[in-house]
Each structure stands twice: as structure tokens, then as C-alpha cells.
């Protein structure tokens, strides 16, 4: 191939090979060096029989300069070249994805959170081409998301779900979210209220229903959402046990025991439900979390822990009391005892603690024995 000058034409031409033969095509430039680079690109694409790309130039539906710019940006990779030339507005797929997500069985609250997270990435009325959505751009958007690191971890998951949606995935050669680092989870020690504070929270509730729900969470270690899913048919009154309909993992679907000290508060409400009816059908996790926050604020607690920390209360107090790590694991629905140990191991009494308790017990027994006059 060669670059040539045609009479009375300002730009240089190349002798281009086409599907059917040869054709002179304008390079759109008077710069001979640039024209030769365009000629080389054409030769490579023609040798690879990439006629669908070259014929767009022949048919005047694609300017050769745009093809060359995309070719140079793609560094000769024809798959990337096609992606750049067919730069889809990914935001246009958002309504379709949210409809599909809502139809997958997730709660309306979860869909609303996904919509909020994705609208931060794709503001309404703003067209965002696929070529802009690389790992660097997504990482920058995630870093500036106005939330805590733990919330940004959830945002990362919601964005990843969107990019894994088949119509979106088909636009990209590689999943751009796969290269975006998920924010690290801060490892904080479990924080919770001890029983005297829990008693105040339960007594402060304005209705028996609210007291019954909070009693369920503090008395079982259930997650906030899982407590709202309990049905009357899940309850074994005789053994004071509940089938917990966990959703995070298969191990979360298990049988839990309700503490005796809160059973009456819970059962007073649960007994009203019939058959498959939910015990607490009218609430959502945001509502009950708000009620709990308002309660601890009204009580004037120096430290305010969220309702989700009721789970820590159950685990820590039972381990302190000497309950087996395996029992706590099953109650919480952890996949392994090691997960329970890593999270709550600090609450397991040490050998020194056990010796101190044994000494206290021995001293008490000695005093009681002496007060009763000794052996007879």
C-alpha cells in the first residue's frame, strides 16, 4: 500500500484493500507521516479481514480519523477497538436492571438502597459511555461516596451486581469492578449493652409489640431483618425455640433458643399470630432501628449502640457464662466455630478467671457450711 496525492484534493489518499478489491480512500489529513500511520492501520485491519470496521469508512458511516483515534487508543486490539467504536451509554440499562433486581425476590428496601447507590454512579440525565467506566474512574467514585468504609463495602457489592448483569457485562471485555479494591472492613471489638441496660430498653417501650420484638433480638442473637421474618409456625412453644429464617448464608437458617428472661415478653405477642402469619408483619428494619435509637437517646445512655449490636449482647453474655463456643456458633448461624472464636473469643473466661470463680465458690460454700454448724 502507498499514500498518494490526488489532483485538486487537499488531503492525502491511500490505496486501500477492500472486501471486493482496491479503492482510493481519503485519509482526511495533509500530514504525510500521519497518513502513513493510517495506511498501516488499514493494512493490518484488512489483513485480519476486519471488513465490518473498514466498510463503515467506505460507506461514510464512520470517519477514518475516528477509526484511527480509536485504533490508537486500543493499541491495535480489535476487540477493544470495537468497544470504543460502539460506546454504549451504560446508564440507560439502569432502569432495566433495577426492575430485574426487584423481581429477584429482594425486599423493596434493598431495591431502594441499590437505586440510591447506582444513581450516585450514574446521575439522572447524564450519559456515561462505557469507555469511561474503567477501574480508576470507578475507584475514584467509590472513594468519594459519602459514607463510612463499611457502607462503601456494601456499595461495592451493589455496583458489582450491576456490572455482572448480563446486558451490562456483554459491553465490556473485562469486568471493570473486578479491578476495584473493596474497602477493608475495620475490625472493631464487639460493643453492646449488658443486661441491666437491656432491661431498661425493654421496659421503656411504649407498646408490648415493640418490647416483644426487642426481647426477641436481645434474647436470641437474631439479625434485625431475620427477627422480622419470624412466623408463628416457626415457634416451638414447648422448648422455647424458633426456626430462624436466615438469608445471608445457609448456616443462618437454624434453630435458636429464646432466653428464659425474655420469653414471656416475646410469647405474649407471638401467640396472637396464626399459622404462617408473621409475628411482626407491619415493620421494616429501618423503622425498628430508629425506635431503638430513639429509646437509648431518651434513656440518656452515655454510649448509644445500634439495634444490630443486640446480637453481640447475646454472644458475649453467654460465653461469659461458660456456654460452649459450639453452642454459640450454632445459635448465631456462623459457618465455623473459628469465626465465632475470632469475633467473640475475648469473652471466653480465661483459666485465671475460672480459678477466681472457683475460689469464690469455695469460699462461699465454706461460709455457708460454717453458718449451718458444720457437718452433722
The CA distance from 353 to 250, in Å, is: 36
* Spans of all domains in the chain: 3-85, 90-179, 195-347
Give the pLDDT mean for 352-365.
71
Q: Which three cell numbers stand for residue 131?
A: 469507555
Backbone angles phi, psi at 17, to 5 degrees: -80, 135
- The fold of the 90-179 domain, in CATH, is DNA polymerase; domain 1 (1.10.150)
Q: Which residues are 61's β-sheet partners?
A: none
- Give the residue from 269, 312, 309 showing the smallest Cα distance to 293: 309
Helices marked H in 164-284 — which ranges?
166-169, 195-203, 208-220, 224-228, 260-270
Q: What is the mean pLDDT of residues 295-303?
A: 95
> How does residue 287 score in pLDDT terms, banded at 50, 70 and 90?
very high
Q: Write the pLDDT tens digit of every residue in 174-184.
A: 788 989 999 88
Residue pair 130/87 in contact by the 8 Å Cβ criterion: yes
pLDDT tens sequence across 184-209: 877 778 899 999 999 999 999 999 99
Query: Greater confidence, 9 or 216?
Result: 216
Q: What is the homologous superfamily of the domain 195-347 according to CATH? A: Intergrase catalytic core (1.10.443.10)
Place of cell 470504543: 84
Instruction: Name the grid cell of 102.
Output: 426487584
Tens-place pLDDT, residues 116-164? 999 999 888 887 777 788 899 999 999 999 988 888 999 999 999 999 9
**With bands split at pLDDT 50, 70 and 90, how would you rate the model's confidence at 251?**
low
pLDDT the model gives residue 268: 96
Which pLDDT belongs to residue 250? 55
Across the strands, what pairs with 84?
none
| Angstrom distance (rounded) from CA 138 to CA 118 | 12
Whole-number Å distance between alpha carbons of 86 and 232: 55
**What pLDDT, in 10s, does the model give residues 96-107?**
999 999 988 888
Q: What is the dihedral of CA 263, 310, 157, 286, to 10 degrees?
A: 80
Q: Is the pLDDT confidence value at 247 over 90?
A: no
Amino acid at each position: 500500500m502507498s499514500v498518494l496525492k490526488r489532483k485538486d484534493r487537499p488531503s492525502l489518499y491511500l490505496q486501500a484493500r477492500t472486501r471486493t478489491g482496491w479503492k482510493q480512500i481519503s485519509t482526511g489529513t495533509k500530514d504525510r507521516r500521519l497518513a502513513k500511520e493510517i495506511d498501516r492501520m488499514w493494512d493490518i485491519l484488512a489483513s485480519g479481514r476486519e471488513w465490518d470496521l473498514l466498510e463503515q469508512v467506505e460507506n461514510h458511516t464512520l470517519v477514518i480519523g475516528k477509526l484511527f483515534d480509536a485504533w490508537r487508543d486500543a493499541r491495535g486490539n480489535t476487540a477493544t477497538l470495537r468497544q470504543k467504536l460502539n460506546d454504549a451509554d451504560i446508564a440507560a440499562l439502569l432502569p432495566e436492571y433495577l426492575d430485574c433486581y426487584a423481581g429477584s425476590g429482594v425486599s423493596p428496601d434493598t431495591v431502594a438502597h441499590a437505586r440510591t447507590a447506582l444513581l450516585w454512579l450514574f446521575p439522572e440525565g447524564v450519559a456515561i459511555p462505557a469507555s469511561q467506566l474503567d477501574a480508576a474512574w470507578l475507584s475514584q467514585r467509590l472513594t468519594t461516596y459519602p459514607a463510612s468504609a463499611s457502607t462503601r463495602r456494601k456499595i461495592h457489592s451493589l455496583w458489582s451486581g450491576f456490572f455482572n448483569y448480563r446486558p451490562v457485562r456483554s459491553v465490556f471485555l473485562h469486568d471493570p469492578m473486578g479491578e476495584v479494591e473493596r474497602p477493608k472492613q475495620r475490625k472493631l471489638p464487639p460493643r453492646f449493652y449488658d443486661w441491666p441496660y437491656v432491661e431498661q430498653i425493654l421496659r421503656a417501650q411504649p407498646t408490648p409489640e415493640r418490647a416483644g420484638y426487642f426481647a426477641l433480638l436481645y434474647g436470641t442473637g437474631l439479625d434485625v431483618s431475620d427477627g422480622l421474618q419470624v412466623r408463628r409456625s416457626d415457634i416451638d412453644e414447648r422448648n422455647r425455640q424458633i426456626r430462624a429464617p436466615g438469608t445471608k448464608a445457609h448456616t443462618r437458617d437454624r434453630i435458636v433458643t429464646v432466653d428464659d428472661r425474655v420469653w414471656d415478653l416475646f410469647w405474649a405477642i407471638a401467640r396472637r399470630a396464626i399459622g404462617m402469619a408473621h409475628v411482626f408483619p407491619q415493620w421494616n428494619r429501618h423503622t425498628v432501628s430508629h425506635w431503638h435509637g430513639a429509646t437509648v437517646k431518651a434513656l440518656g445512655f452515655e454510649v448509644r449502640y445500634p439495634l444490630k449490636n443486640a446480637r453481640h449482647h447475646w454472644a458475649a453474655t453467654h460465653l461469659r457464662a461458660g456456654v460452649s463456643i459450639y453452642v454459640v456458633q450454632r445459635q448465631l448461624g456462623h459457618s465455623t466455630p473459628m469465626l465465632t472464636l475470632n469475633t467473640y473469643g475475648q469473652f471466653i473466661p480465661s483459666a485465671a478467671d475460672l480459678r477466681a470463680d472457683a475460689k469464690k465458690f469455695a469460699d462461699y460454700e465454706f461460709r455457708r457450711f460454717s453458718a449451718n454448724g458444720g457437718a452433722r
